[in-house]
Amino acid sequence: MLTLPIPLVVALVLGFLALRHALAGDRSILFLVFLATCGLQALVISLTQHYGLSLFWPIQLATAVALPPLSWLTFQSAALRPFDRKRDWLHLLGPGFTAFCTVFAPVTLDVVLPALFVGYGATILVRLRTDEALPLARLGAGPRPARIWKGVGLLLVFSALLDVLIAVALRLGHAEWRPLIISIFTSFTLLGIGLLSLSRDADGSAEDSAGATAPEATRQSEEDAELISRLDALMQKDRPYLDPDLTLARLARRLHVPIKHLSAAINRATGENVSRYVNGFRVRNACALLDGGDTVTEAMLGSGFNTKSNFNREFARVTGQSPSAFIRNGHEG
């Protein structure tokens, strides 16, 4: 019976997913490159560690070096802003420095590679911790986009532990464990990163970044009030909250203001983040639909929500009760 190595199975899974999404055209080029790199890394690990084809080691190194910056650039283009060659070429410095070390100081690779993974993984985690407002993330997705990318960041940091485990194995005199450690842990990491990044909630829309210029350090409360007044008028007149794919960037573009300016104004004026502010309108719309005789599912879908869990959570937060209890009690929104 033919048994395929774990990395080869992971490579086939990721390759299939990349091909499927490429044919469907529902992911950005950067997403597909990122996923393909994960698949190629798993493939060459299988070839080098299980089949002894050491000639593929340079490819294994190249894909390993490319994965951390690709992770950040994919996160950035999916949640923060689109890829910009003029600004993002700096991410070539890490792979370039690693190539230099490979030629002139190969002994430093055991430090440089883990540092790349930890550095980019930590950067994603710090960005999410300092500001969870992801301009290109769908507001209807709630906290899921941030959680997905947090998972990717943690897996990048986790992958750096491989060298620690390998060093421990060598210290204990078990050099034969090295291929097994690389195969299992790298496969788990690559598969996790690939599957997490494929979630629809991990992706945003590059076109939503219009107007994403930095705001001034401080804003007068009068300006906040004026902006919130315009935003409230937009929400009541055009009801953009009914769009389940609504993002902070789209709202900012409709109001012709910078993304961070709008986000900060909502925080200061309402004490809520953008997602909660928008979901307040969605819940009130759902209450009106429930009062009109719609089912819970119909009210959920007709108000811009697309997941039952997020709808129930936000409904309870706004009204203090579940949708079914709201129907039983006969309350009006």
User: Which one has a higher pLDDT value, 42 or 50?
Assistant: 42
Task: Say if residue 332's pLDDT is above 50.
Answer: no
User: Which one has a higher pLDDT value, 147 or 2?
Assistant: 147
- Picking from 187-196, 200-209, 236-245, which range would have the lowest pLDDT averaged per residue? 200-209
Q: What is the mean pLDDT of residues 299-316?
A: 90
Q: What is the mean pLDDT of residues 71-79?
A: 89
User: Which one has a higher pLDDT value, 252 or 167?
Assistant: 252
Domain 6-206 fold is: Rhopdopsin 7-helix transmembrane proteins (1.20.1070)
pLDDT tens by residue, 130-140: 766 678 887 77
Task: Say if residue 97's pLDDT is above 90.
Answer: yes
- Picking from 10-24, 153-167, 198-212, which range would have the lowest pLDDT averaged per residue? 198-212
Give yes or no for a contact between 153 and 117, defined as CB atoms under 8 angstroms apart.
no
Residues of the chain above pLDDT 70, percent: 90
Domain boundaries, the chain: 6-206, 217-329
Task: Say if residue 163's pLDDT is above 90.
Answer: no
Domain 6-206 and domain 217-329, same fold? Reply is no
How many angstroms separate the CA atoms of 266 and 74, rounded? Answer: 27
User: Which one has a higher pLDDT value, 245 or 330?
Assistant: 245
pTM of the entire structure? 0.75
Give yes or no for a contact between 71 and 152, defined as CB atoms under 8 angstroms apart.
yes
Task: Say if residue 2's pLDDT is above 90.
Answer: no
Averaged confidence pLDDT in the chain = 83
Task: Say if residue 20's pLDDT is above 70.
Answer: yes
Task: Say if residue 210's pLDDT is above 60.
Answer: no
The predicted structure's pLDDT at residue 131 = 64
pLDDT tens by residue, 264-307: 888 888 888 888 899 999 999 999 999 998 999 999 999 998 88
The predicted structure's pLDDT at residue 203 = 64
The predicted structure's pLDDT at residue 245 = 87
Which distant-in-sequence residues (6+ apart) come within 8 Å of 250 by Cβ? 208, 240
* CATH class of the region 217-329: mainly alpha
Q: How confident is the model at residue 21 (pLDDT cuts 50, 70, 90)?
A: confident
Task: Say if residue 208's pLDDT is above 60.
Answer: no
